[in-house]
Structure 1
Amino acid sequence: MPVPAADPRALPDLAVRTLGGGVVWANDELFAGRENLVNPWPPSFTPRTFGAKGQVYDGWETRRRREPGHDAAIVRLGIPGLVHLVVVDTTHFTGNSPTSASIEALCRDGHPSADDLRAATWTPLVPRSPLRPDGANAFPVASDRRWTHIRLTIHPDGGVARLRVHGEAVADPHLVAALGTVDLVGVGVGGRVIRCSNRFYGEPQRLIEPGPARSMGEGWETARRRGPGNDWVELRLAARGTVRVAELDTTWFLGNAPAFAALSAYDGPGDPPGDTSWRPLLPRTPLQPDTRHLIVIDAADPATHVRLDIHPDGGMARLRLWGTPTGDGLAALHSRWQATAP
């Protein structure tokens, strides 16, 4: 099933811990720590698991408020970017969830302190809105600005399991230019999955996340193919560039790694219109299970998109495409950076 391009949940969670997100401040966290808001796994709950402060929750929970006011937490996005959907997840919080919440955003480059952030002027993204207990409350966001921090305010108090901030990464062109060789498809610099054939066991977005996979569950894996054909994923590079080294990582995939893989490239202003638009980048190459394959690419022509074909099916932990942005690729990054500045 192709990834729905119009579904903002298919976009990366810019706040998640595995992408570098963190909770830098909360006014109260008596019952459950603020850091749980950005955990990558779904919220868990074991009934009658009590600690010194009561039932243990996999989320952020404040004390019962006995005076007027509200509680708040500030989240640093792991990757600055455009925000399209915020999910305030109150899963497992039933009689202790907030009645409503609001979301604000801030763009503050560098490494500001919690005090700096608290004193800053914030921009509303989601007005105060009612929350359902024990559920994922999704709020679409209409904003064309780049943000680095999110402030979640809950009214009046209570618990939230997760805060998901789905959006598009906006790469800092100064860092990309200074680095020279970068992972052109990495989510940290703005790489993005646009389509895939199958995502039964694992999301294709995981292919381009930073760091090594810590288990098979952190990779992309398809269902077993029982008919002809093969599985594939198409990706948009962060910037137009020339791929020098491809890293095809099957770490953790033992009896379910693909037998072969191939890469194709496309160079154009928009997403590829069809299969006939792709040119060969890496011919069909045998893969070994549980192996990090590093392959030199002899590619003289730049690309804007890459397609990974796996034969016939299976799973991969990571895909890295190490290369150099072109001059016009860097110029496009600069234009986007400036256009999205608050």
Structure 2
Amino acid sequence: MVDLAGRALGAGVVAANDEWFADKENLLLDTEPVFHPHTFGPKGQVMDGWETRRRRGASADRPHPDPGDHDWAIIRLGAAGVIRGVVVDTAHFRGNHPQSASVEAAYVPEHPSLDEVLSAGVAWTTIVPRGALHGDTAHRFPVAVERRFTHVRLNIFPDGGVARLRVHGEAVPDPDYLDGLMVDVAAAEHGGVAEAASDRFFSPPHHVNAPGRSRVMGEGWETRRRRDDGHDWVRVRLAGPSLVAAVEIDTDHYKGNAPGWIRLRAKTDGDPAEDDGWWDLLPPTRVQPDTRHRWRVAPDRPARHVRVEAYPDGGIARLRVLGRLTTAGLAELRARVRDLDARPGAAPTAR
């Protein structure tokens, strides 16, 4: 699943009620949290995460905060989509982690201001009920609410620090925006999904349709060295049935470990796990190390899935498939959006 809260996808932390010790923006950093002991700034130990001050009660007679008191941060997702799981990571927060947390989500269309997101008319749906947190732990919470969302709110009780937040799911783009546009129909932001791969030893296949160009070799998809006569592959489900006009294979940063040849195959319908029904979008073609390759294509039928095959093995930084959704593809996407938006949420609350 793509991280809908990834900065590369365009997500951002738009608000937090408190960030006294550590900035809210740290929640979405794409690096693993780090800790350098005895590194102090004006406000104390420097922490790689979001950390609020300690809450206090209303008086000396009641010094502890009310159980309902809590801190919160609101994240604008990089793409509207269906959330399948949330990771609340308290890495390196040991004596200063929250006691518990919950996650809510909302759908606020277009490009809302912060005031619009915080307005009383926005309905927030609980997607992760309040549950206990532990220090220095990556907590993985499944989400079963089948709706489209654009924003999430992380609530921590009563206060403390969280290193990272990940919101895994499927992007569901606006069909009216895609209607007639030539876009990368394999891109994660448009609903493309790297569904399967023959090998993911060095890095995962979902990197191939990630936003932007890779910055280092580890941001692509790389397989182990094959010692047989086979070849490696990764399969991507496109945003929908599409007429493809051009493709791009980028071996950026793969210098001594790029494939020798690639082949790009497509499938119009049927089970993508079956070998029959695949046809060549690009025949076996020599590729160069550390090179951005581009080709125009003119297939005589739409593609729903593509499979990039690496001969015999190696690394591919990015795959781009430029095309337009077919009339049937747009109809499918519109039907899915209508179905998702019509489904009830789980205990929505307007705030």
Give the TM-score, by structure 2 length.
0.92
The CA distance in 2 between the partners of 1:277 and 1:57, in whole Å, is 53
Q: In the alignment, what sits opposite 2:203? A: 202
| SS, match of residue 18 in structure 1 | helix
CA contact (8 A) 1:271 1:305 kept: no
| SS, match of residue 258 in structure 1 | coil
The residue identity in structure 1 corresponding to 2:221 is W
1:174, CA displacement in angstroms? 1.0
| SS, match of residue 328 in structure 1 | helix
**Percent of aligned pairs with the same amino acid:** 53
The superposition leaves residues 57-76 of structure 1 with CA deviations (integer Å, 9 ceiling, x where unpaired) of: 11100011113311000000
- Counterpart check, 1:66 vs 2:56: yes
Rg larger in structure: 2
- Counterpart check, 1:322 vs 2:322: yes
The CA distance in 2 between the partners of 1:117 and 1:126, in whole Å, is 20
Mapping of 1:285-300 within 5 angstroms? 285-300=285-300
- Counterpart check, 1:249 vs 2:250: yes
Q: In the alignment, what sits opposite 1:142? A: 144
Report runs of 4+ in structure 1 exceeding 6 Å deviation: none
The CA distance in 1 between the partners of 2:273 and 2:21, in whole Å, is 52
The CA distance in 1 between the partners of 2:271 and 2:86, in whole Å, is 26
The residue identity in structure 2 corresponding to 1:154 is I
Residue in structure 2 matching 1:172, options 171, 174, 189: 174
Residue in structure 2 matching 1:23, options 13, 25, 29: 13
The CA distance in 1 between the partners of 2:38 and 2:277, in whole Å, is 58
Q: In the alignment, what sits opposite 2:31? A: 41
The superposition leaves residues 144-184 of structure 1 with CA deviations (integer Å, 9 ceiling, x where unpaired) of: 11000000000000000111111111011111115x11111
Q: In the alignment, what sits opposite 1:55? A: 45
The superposition leaves residues 174-204 of structure 1 with CA deviations (integer Å, 9 ceiling, x where unpaired) of: 11115x1111111111000111011111111
Name which of structure 1's ranges 194-203 and 74-83 shifts more when overlaid on structure 2: 194-203
The CA distance in 1 between the partners of 2:109 and 2:98, in whole Å, is 31
The superposition leaves residues 1-23 of structure 1 with CA deviations (integer Å, 9 ceiling, x where unpaired) of: xxxxxxxxxx0110011111100
Name which of structure 1's ranges 117-126 and 181-190 shifts more when overlaid on structure 2: 117-126
State the superposition RMSD in angstroms.
1.2
1:277, CA displacement in angstroms? 2.8
Residue in structure 2 matching 1:161, options 145, 160, 163: 163
Mapping of 1:114-133 within 5 angstroms? 114-119=114-119, 120-133=122-135
Q: In the alignment, what sits opposite 1:6? A: none
The residue identity in structure 1 corresponding to 2:278 is W
The CA distance in 1 between the partners of 2:191 and 2:151, in whole Å, is 17
The residue identity in structure 2 corresponding to 1:255 is G
| SS, match of residue 329 in structure 1 | helix
Q: In the alignment, what sits opposite 1:5? A: none
The CA distance in 2 between the partners of 1:279 and 1:246, in whole Å, is 15
Q: In the alignment, what sits opposite 1:13? A: 3
The CA distance in 1 between the partners of 2:322 and 2:271, in whole Å, is 21
Mapping of 1:235-314 within 5 angstroms? 235-268=236-269, 271-314=271-314
The CA distance in 2 between the partners of 1:339 and 1:192, in whole Å, is 20
Structure 2's unaligned 5+ residue stretches are 58-64, 343-351
Structure 1's unaligned 5+ residue stretches are 1-10
1:298, CA displacement in angstroms? 2.5
Matched length: 330
The CA distance in 2 between the partners of 1:337 and 1:318, in whole Å, is 28
The residue identity in structure 2 corresponding to 1:319 is L
The CA distance in 2 between the partners of 1:271 and 1:249, in whole Å, is 27
Q: In the alignment, what sits opposite 1:90? A: 90
The CA distance in 1 between the partners of 2:324 and 2:249, in whole Å, is 18
1:227, CA displacement in angstroms? 2.1
The residue identity in structure 2 corresponding to 1:266 is K
1:330, CA displacement in angstroms? 0.8
Name which of structure 1's ranges 306-315 and 111-120 shifts more when overlaid on structure 2: 111-120
